């Protein structure tokens, strides 16, 4: 029972949780009150962003998992002070962007910034080339240059279809995406050579990267190609929905940085986001969240979506919306990979198909059970990682596979004339261990299949269905394994099975999974949570957004440090900041197997799960600029990746990072501004030296640092050499975006007595 709260009366309600809360985004917005038949009302103080109703995390007891040094969960992390940020991120300001193109090209024979041509004088033409028409159209639109059927004597851009020859000392990489780019001021010509359309398109992206705002392009001779075939970004639109316009904007950024796979997480416990003709309940109920404890009209309100069926808790792509995304992606050489997550994470689908069953049970009983995803008499008690007690699709009933066949049929039909589907990604992750234990259907089923787990039976059946459509399959790693061992690949009819390796926590001895799968013949996409989960905070600070289950923070530099062929060295600290012992020779074969079949590493992917992504600007903040570092590692193999000695490797890494960080600050962030992307602006580092001089720095040199000594009324620029001030109160500092229109969060330096 609840006590009455009278007008103007205050009641304190204590809420206990078994988990810690150390980041302000742990507290969801849009709390609401409902009573009987009355309409729900959101508590005004909790409405919307940015969680102003949450009290500040302003002491170790609030920002640490445990502040007790004797506790096994003792947390070493603290929010960075301005001085610590200065020490950690304060790097040499080179004054320019030293890298002409990101991702870094494979081979640059000539690059002369002192010798340029200009393509914006109104006299240039693009020589028409039907084989590469997508690239021609894209370049024409960007530079506003007309097409021509003939090659003039000068001032032209010409495309040639030809195989690319790499220098003998370079690797023969993904040739269908390789290109040559020759910018010749002497002949006033630009020549692009590629064997396939994708290579020509990436040459255009490199050309645009070289072009300054006035149209000047330096003399250049580049031969380039990617290290990996798969260079991906995963966006979860199931937990919180984002419309097609948002997705298209990210496709633009992906294309700019030569990422080529967009993995759309379309379904999960909290939402189903794609229209399936013939099964309207999937989106009418599974694509909608509201106040409905019975979940017969909509799903319950999850993740701060409130009691009303509005975005981002509610929403879905119509077939035409999804086709628009496909067309937009194809024009930018991005392949869309839809994921339908099952058998775990199936709550939305289960509830939708149960509602369909209830609607048809009396009038069409046979049709009612056709797509049912649960054993109605299953009394199993379980809870998923996200605490769902009814989110596991039953693998023991025929209707489950009728449903899956229907979904595959629909996906194939939607994709066929735009971007034919090649892979069925069925998710497969985080299946609760006690699911189906009390299902009579599964008890009977197990009599026949006693030597296999129900999950394995499910996977093999899905694989057989996919194979009948000539589709490969893909899944998160734990969807294809039992007790740390991959299912035998020989059990599957597909030649290629793609494993998304995500759980690399060395403290739990799970870092070995990726290489174990690769060594067993699976194609592996690396998306290690400690380095490439873009839903984690940038800093170990309670005011930074993000999940913290895998690691306390993932900076842009941490993404940049990704080493696909040295996976054990990318995660140096555990979740509490304790140093993790690196793999030792004495147990290497058991816990740290060597990567024996390097060609089975298909590529890498940044992953953005959407529990906390309630707006497009939040998505921008979490993805960028980390995605640029992801693109660099997916396309370009750094020399330091192959240095075994950590000290020597770190020295070379730091040199490269200085160049990369300067290029972000002096060039690339401004390019994101032109796309309308609201990337995270890093707060500055600073300290007071010699009593009254402020020394400041920023993670990406080239961004302007500003200071205020009057509470934010007046802001002035801090020059590289520092600035002398006279002050009495607290000093405020912030960083300005590349286009000057936005600012970082404000950081504070205390009074003079606090900084001696």
Which CATH number characterizes residue 148's domain? 3.30.379.10
User: Around Cβ 350, how many Cβ atoms within 10 Å?
Assistant: 23
pLDDT (tens digit, 9 = 90+) per residue, 622-647? 999 999 999 999 999 999 999 999 99
Same structural domain, 293 and 386? yes
User: Which pLDDT value is given to residue 755?
Assistant: 32
Inside any domain, residue 182: yes
Inside any domain, residue 464: yes
Range of the domain at 217: 107-224
For 430-439, what is the mean pLDDT? 94
User: Which pLDDT value is given to residue 34?
Assistant: 92
pLDDT (tens digit, 9 = 90+) per residue, 187-215? 999 999 999 999 999 999 999 999 999 99
pLDDT tops 90 at residue 72: no
Q: Show which of 205, 224, 243 is a domain's final residue.
A: 224
Burial of 756 (0-12, 13-18, 19+ CB in 10 A): exposed
Same structural domain, 199 and 270? no
pTM for this entry = 0.96
Q: Which of 24-33, 458-467, 536-545, 725-734 has the lowest mean pLDDT?
A: 725-734
Same structural domain, 537 and 416? yes
* DSSP codes joined into one string, 223-244: EE--S-SEEEEEEE-SSS---H
Average model confidence (pLDDT) for the chain? 93
Same structural domain, 638 and 504? yes
For 62-79, what is the mean pLDDT? 83
Same structural domain, 210 and 334? no
Distance of CA 615 to CAs 45, 104, 377, 609, Å?
A: 19, 32, 40, 13
Inside any domain, residue 9: no
Q: Which of 432-446, 538-552, 615-629 has the lowest mean pLDDT?
A: 432-446
Write out the catalytic residue numbers: 430
pLDDT tops 70 at residue 374: yes
Which CATH number characterizes residue 743's domain? 2.60.40.10
Same structural domain, 215 and 339? no
User: Which pLDDT value is given to residue 572?
Assistant: 87
What would the two tokens of residue 492 be?
């599957």
Inside any domain, residue 615: yes
In 3D space, the residue among 502, 532, 507 whose CA is nearest the CA of residue 517 turns out to be 502
What residues have CB less than 8 Å from 122, skipping those under 6 apart? none
User: Which pLDDT value is given to residue 169?
Assistant: 54
pLDDT tops 80 at residue 341: yes
CA distance 526 to 429: 15
Inside any domain, residue 195: yes
pLDDT tops 50 at residue 729: yes
Inside any domain, residue 99: no
pLDDT band at residue 452 under the 50/70/90 scheme: confident
Same structural domain, 532 and 474? yes
Inside any domain, residue 575: yes
Tell me what percent of the residues of the chain surpass a pLDDT of 90: 83
> Are 354 and 308 spatial neighbours (Cβ–Cβ below 8 Å)?
no
pLDDT band at residue 35 under the 50/70/90 scheme: confident
Same structural domain, 405 and 512? yes
Q: Show which of 163, 193, 224 is a domain's final residue.
A: 224
CA distance 654 to 112: 25
Tell me what percent of the residues of the chain surpass a pLDDT of 70: 96
pLDDT band at residue 587 under the 50/70/90 scheme: very low
For 220-236, what is the mean pLDDT? 97
User: Which pLDDT value is given to residue 165?
Assistant: 83
Task: Specify the residue for token string 């089923």.
Answer: 445
Same structural domain, 300 and 191? no
Torsion, CA 273, CA 524, CA 656, CA 742, rounded to 10: 10
In what order do the strands lie in the sheet containing 693-697? 685-689, 693-697, 723-724
Same structural domain, 611 and 637? yes
CA distance 105 to 167: 13
Which CATH number characterizes residue 288's domain? 3.20.20.80
pLDDT tops 50 at residue 449: yes
For residue 89, what is the DSSP state?
Answer: H
CA distance 202 to 226: 10
User: Which pLDDT value is given to residue 69?
Assistant: 75
Terminus-to-terminus CA distance in the chain, angstroms? Answer: 56
Inside any domain, residue 177: yes
pLDDT band at residue 756 under the 50/70/90 scheme: very low
Same structural domain, 359 and 494? yes
Give how many domains the chain has, as a whole number.
3
Same structural domain, 543 and 448? yes
User: Which pLDDT value is given to residue 168?
Assistant: 60
CA distance 585 to 590: 10
pLDDT band at residue 171 under the 50/70/90 scheme: low
Q: Show which of 164, 199, 224 is a domain's final residue.
A: 224
Residue 219's DSSP bridge partners are 112
pLDDT (tens digit, 9 = 90+) per residue, 477-489? 999 999 889 999 9
For 522-533, what is the mean pLDDT? 98
């Amino acid at each position: 029972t609840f006590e009455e709260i009278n007008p103007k009366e205050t009641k304190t309600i204590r809420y206990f949780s078994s988990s810690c809360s150390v980041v302000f985004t742990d507290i969801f917005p849009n709390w609401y009150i409902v009573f009987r038949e009355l309409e729900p009302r959101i508590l005004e103080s909790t409405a919307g962003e940015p969680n102003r109703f949450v009290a500040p995390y302003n002491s170790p007891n609030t920002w640490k998992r445990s502040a007790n040094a004797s506790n096994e969960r003792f947390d070493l992390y603290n929010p960075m002070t301005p001085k610590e940020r200065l020490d950690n991120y304060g790097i040499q300001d080179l004054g320019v962007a030293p890298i002409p193109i990101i991702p870094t090209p494979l081979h640059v024979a000539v690059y002369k910034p002192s010798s340029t041509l200009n393509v914006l004088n109104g006299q240039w033409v693009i020589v028409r080339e039907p084989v590469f028409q997508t690239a021609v159209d894209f370049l024409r639109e960007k530079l506003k240059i007309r097409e021509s059927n003939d090659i003039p004597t000068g001032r032209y851009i010409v495309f040639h279809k030809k195989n690319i020859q790499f220098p003998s000392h370079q690797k023969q990489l993904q040739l269908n995406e390789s290109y040559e780019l020759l910018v010749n001021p002497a002949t006033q010509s630009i020549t692009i050579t590629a064997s396939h359309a994708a290579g020509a398109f990436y040459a255009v992206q490199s050309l645009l990267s070289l072009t300054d705002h006035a149209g000047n392009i330096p003399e250049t001779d580049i031969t380039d190609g990617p290290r990996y075939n798969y260079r991906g970004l995963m966006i979860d639109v199931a937990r919180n929905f984002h419309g097609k316009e948002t997705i298209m904007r990210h496709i633009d950024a992906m294309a700019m940085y030569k990422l080529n796979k967009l993995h759309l997480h379309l379904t999960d416990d909290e939402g189903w986001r794609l229209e399936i003709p013939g099964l309207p309940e999937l989106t009418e109920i599974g694509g909608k969240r509201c106040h409905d404890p019975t979940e017969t009209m909509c799903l319950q309100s999850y993740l701060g979506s409130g009691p009303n069926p509005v975005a981002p808790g509610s929403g879905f792509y119509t077939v035409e919306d999804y086709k628009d995304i496909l067309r937009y992606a194809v024009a930018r050489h991005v392949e869309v990979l839809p994921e339908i997550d099952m058998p775990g994470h199936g709550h939305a689908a289960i509830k939708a198909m149960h509602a369909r069953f209830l609607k048809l049970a009396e009038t069409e009983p046979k049709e009612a059970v056709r797509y049912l995803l649960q054993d109605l008499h299953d009394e199993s008690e379980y809870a998923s990682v996200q605490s769902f007690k009814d989110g596991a699709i039953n693998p023991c009933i025929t209707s489950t596979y009728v449903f899956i066949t229907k979904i595959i049929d629909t996906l194939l039909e939607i994709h066929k004339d735009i971007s034919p589907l090649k892979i069925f990604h069925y998710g497969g992750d985080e299946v609760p261990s006690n699911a189906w234990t009390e299902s009579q259907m599964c008890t009977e089923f197990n009599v026949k299949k006693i030597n296999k787990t129900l999950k394995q039976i499910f996977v093999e059946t899905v694989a057989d269905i996919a194979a009948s459509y000539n589709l490969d399959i893909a899944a998160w790693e734990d969807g294809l394994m039992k007790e740390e061992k991959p299912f035998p690949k020989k059990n599957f009819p597909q030649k290629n099975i793609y494993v998304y390796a995500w759980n690399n926590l060395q403290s739990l001895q799970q870092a070995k999974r990726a290489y174990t799968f690769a060594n067993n013949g699976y194609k592996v996409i690396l998306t290690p949570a400690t380095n490439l989960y873009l839903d984690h905070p940038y800093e170990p600070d309670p005011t930074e957004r993000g999940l913290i289950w895998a690691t306390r923070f993932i900076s842009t530099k941490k993404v940049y440090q990704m080493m696909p062929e040295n996976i054990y060295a990318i995660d140096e600290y555990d979740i509490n900041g304790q140093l993790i012992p690196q793999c030792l020779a004495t147990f290497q074969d058991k816990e740290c197997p060597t990567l024996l079949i390097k060609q089975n590493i298909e590529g890498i992917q940044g992953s953005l799960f959407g529990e906390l992504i309630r707006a497009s600007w939040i998505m921008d903040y979490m993805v960028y600029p980390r995605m640029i570092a992801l693109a660099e590692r997916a396309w370009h193999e750094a020399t330091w990746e192959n240095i075994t000695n950590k000290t020597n490797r770190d020295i070379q890494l730091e040199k490269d990072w200085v160049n990369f960080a300067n290029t972000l600050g002096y060039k690339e962030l401004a390019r994101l501004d032109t796309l309308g992307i609201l990337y995270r602006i890093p707060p500055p580092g600073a300290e007071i030296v010699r009593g009254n001089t402020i020394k400041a720095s920023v993670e990406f040199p080239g961004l302007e640092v500003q200071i205020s000594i009057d509470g934010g009324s007046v802001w002035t620029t801090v020059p590289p050499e520092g600035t002398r001030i006279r002050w009495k109160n607290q000093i405020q500092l912030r960083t300005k975006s590349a286009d000057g229109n936005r600012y970082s969060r404000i950081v504070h330096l205390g009074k003079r007595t606090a900084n001696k």
